[in-house]
Amino acid sequence: MRLFYIKTLEKKKEIIRQKKTEFNHIVYLLPKKFYDEIEDSLNGVEVHFYEDISKSNDLINFAREESLLILDSPARYKNISTDKFRRLSKISKQYANKIIIDTVPFASEIEYLYVPLSYIDRNILGYQHYYSFRENNSEIYQNKQYRSHDFELNAKKMSSIAYQEYQSFLDGIEIKTHDVSLTPEEKDGYEKKKEDYFNKFDRFNPIVTALSDYSNMRDSVYDKIGEVLQNIDGEAVLYTNIKTHNKYLKQRFPNVRVRTFYDVNGDEQNYKNIILCEVPIVRAYLFTDVISRLNKGTTVHVIKPNVPAIKLLYNRMSTEYTQLDEFTKILRKEIDHIETRS
């Protein structure tokens, strides 16, 4: 197997232990924030962080023929115009043996499936460049016609080299959306802010970010959070985009844990309720990090102010987790089909 899609730390550590018995030298690349949770499994492993790969050429210059390169969670780095993509492409070419360990096959949407798989082998999907795959052209595979983004097609192409621990990405996880209507005064404030921000910024993203921050900190939003907390069973943890918002939530709800999406620490499985006080703004995969650590039976509550900026972010997030759930369900079916035949 070359592609491992898993959610539990126990399984990740098991894979690392197994690879240690197969290879004398392992190079392990991962995001810094995941290091502490698997540090005890990395003894004797050469560890590098994605955040640092532009600082040195060691991964390129000192690659050994007998080495195994493990890419942990590469799907989140989907932008092919970045230096990180160029460096990862160059690094991966130096290693004959390489695998991916990730919670998901892609980030954002199916067109970005190509990016992490290209580090392993561009022939997996049959396209030599991302732009060719992105076009979603028609192709024939096993005597059947597909579009290149078809979930079944890509699952078939991957299934012989993939292991997936779970049935589908959202298996056993319920997502509830709680719409929030701003007060007339808050709506007026939103419109005034929108006018100000369009005059202040010449790019779209800062406008969406600023309008989202404004909307997420209104009293009507906090009232809805309080209502949700009153009507749930079991403990809850609240998530935000930035730490400056946390202090206001802690003042309003002093007995509830509050953290940012960046603070995933492995204890998410201890909670029956996850409340997204804000929809992820900058990096939607941060929500994926949270979901991937939840136990079956957990409910994710999404607080959604009914304003255009939040709707845009919400649609982006829901597209991602819906596609991931649908694709992984099909991939698991194809994997099981191969195992049944063998």
Give the start-to-end residue ranges of the domains of the chain: 3-165+325-341, 174-306
How would you class 197 by CB atoms within 10 Å of its CB: exposed for 0-12, middle for 13-18, buried for 19 or more? middle
| Furthest CA-CA distance within the chain | 66
Given this model, what pLDDT does residue 38 score? 95
290 close to 261: Cβ distance less than 8 angstroms: yes
Architecture of domain 3-165+325-341: 3-Layer(aba) Sandwich (3.40)
Q: Which two tokens stand for residue 190?
A: 């939103």
pLDDT band for position 71 (cuts 50, 70, 90): very high
**pLDDT greater than 70 at residue 320:** yes
pLDDT band for position 342 (cuts 50, 70, 90): low
Q: What digits encode the pLDDT tens for the residues 227-257?
A: 999 999 989 999 999 899 999 999 999 999 9
Q: What digits encode the pLDDT tens for the residues 249-305?
A: 999 999 999 999 888 777 888 899 999 999 998 777 888 999 999 999 999 999 999
User: What predicted TM-score, i.e. pTM, was given to this entire model?
Assistant: 0.93
The two domains 3-165+325-341 and 174-306 share their CATH topology (first three levels equal): yes
Instruction: Please list the residues that pair with 176 across neighbouring strands.
Output: 301
Instruction: Please list the residues that pair with 4 across neighbouring strands.
Output: 101, 163
Residue ranges of alpha helices (H) inside the chain are 9-22, 35-38, 58-61, 83-92, 114-120, 130-134, 151-159, 184-200, 204-216, 219-230, 243-252, 285-291, 308-341
Q: Between 1.10.357.10, 3.30.360.10, 3.30.1050.10, 3.40.50.300, what CATH number should domain 174-306 receive?
A: 3.40.50.300
Instruction: Please list the residues that pair with 274 across neighbouring strands.
Output: 237, 300
Helix, strand and coil percent figures for the chain, each rounded to 5: 50, 20, 35
Q: Which two tokens stand for residue 29?
A: 């690349």
